[in-house]
Amino acid sequence: MNGPILDENKLFEEMLGKTILLVTNSKQLSILGQTFRPIFTGKVAECTNGFITLYPVIIKMHNAPFYKFPTPLSFPLEQISLFTEFDPDRKIPLI
């Protein structure tokens, strides 16, 4: 969506070009049977009033914590639980 970012969404816009760690709402997600907690790191490539997009983006799978997903990933703002600026190379416990 074009247009200015609303004040309420400025906190996302401030992250444009930065790398963040982002967690969404659900307990776990699954890609082709590989389950993982919805923890992502990556560079904020796009920010709209409805979603932000990370690219490149890493899915923090517990058995492959630096798995770079082949496409950008977008996150509806309403589904985001938290985010923080983050060095994507940092190793953190995921369990």
Partner 1 sequence: MIRKFHIVAIPIRIVVNRFGDHDPDGMMYVLKENESLIKKKVDLNPFSTVDEVEPLVIRANVGDEIEVLFENQLPFHTGMHIQNAEYDVMTSDGAFVGLNKDTTVAKGETILYKWKVFEEGVHFFVDLGNPLSSEQGSNVHGLFGALFVEPRGSWWTDPVTGKPIKSGTFADVHNPLLPSFREYGWFFHDEMEVDDLTGQKPISPHTLQPEATHLVNYRAEPMRNRMRLIQEGVVCPDCEGEEVHHDSWVFGDPDTPILRAYVGDPIKIRLVHGGAQETHSFHYHVHQWLFEATDVDSEIVDVQAISPQVQFTVSPMYGAGSLHGAIGDAIIHCHLYPHFGEGMWGIQRTFDTLQDGSMCYPNGVQIKALQPLPDRPLPPKPTLDRPGFPNFIPGIPGFKAPRPPLGIENGRQPTKIERNHFAPNAVPGAVFVNPAPKDAPVREYDVVLMQMPIVYNNQGWHDPEGRLYVLAEDEEDVRCGRKKPEPLVIRANAGEVIRFRFTNKLPETVGGNAFQLVNRTYEAGMHVHFVKFDVLVADGANVGWNYDSSVLPGETIEYQWFADVELKCTFWHDHLFANEHQQHGVFASINIQARGSEFLDPYTGKETKSGTQAMITNKLIPDFREINLFVHDFALLFDKDGCPLNPPPFPGSPDDPGVMGVNYRNEPIQFRLKEPDCDPAYVFSSWVHGDPVTPILETYNGDPVRVRLIQGAHEESHSFNLHRQRWHRERPDLDSELDQQQHTAIAETFTLEFNMEGEGDYDILYHFGSLDDIWLGNWGIFRSYEKRVKHLKPLPDRTPPKKREMPLPKKTGKVPPMAKIHDDLPPHAKVRKYDVVALNTRIDYNDAGEHDPFGIVFALKKDVDDILTGKLNPEPLIIRANVGEYVEITLTNLLSGKDHHNGRHGYPEVPVDAFFPPSKRISMHAQLVEYDVRHSDGATVGFNYDQTIGPGESITYRWYIDQDIGAVNLWDMADIRNHRHHGAFGMLIAEPRGAKYLHSATRKEVETGSQVIISSPLLPEFREFALLMHDGVRLLDKNGDLIIDPEPLLFGDDIEVEEETPDFEDQGSRGFNYRNEPFRNRVKNFNDIHKVFSSKVFKDPSTPLFLAYQNDPVTFRFTCPADRPRAHSFALHGHKFLRSEDDLNSSIISVSGQKIVGSNDDYHLFYGAGGLFGKAGDYMYRSGLIRWDVELGMWGIFRVLDKQSDKLAPLKKYVEGVPK
Partner 2 sequence: MSDDLAKIANELGDGMININNVRQSVVSGYFQKNRGNRALLLIFQFPFLIIGKIEGVVSDYVVIEAEVTNVTELDGEKFRVHIDDIEVFYIEQPGKPKIPDIRNGKHD
User: Which one of 1-9, 17-25, 31-39, 80-88 is the stretch in contact with partner 1 (CB under 8 A)?
Assistant: 31-39
Q: Which residues in 39-78 contact partner 1 (CB under 8 A)?
A: 61-70
* DSSP string for 26-90: SS-EEETTEEE-SEEEEEEEEE-SSEEEEEEEEEEETTEEEEE-SS-EEEEGGGEEEEEE--TT-
Pick from 21, 44, 75, 88 the residue near partner 2 by CB under 8 A.
75
Element (H, E) at 1: none
Q: Judged by CB under 8 A, which of 13, 24, 37, 67 binds partner 2?
A: 24
* Site residues, partner 2 (CB under 8 A): 1-4, 6, 8-9, 24-33, 38, 40, 48-51, 53, 70-79
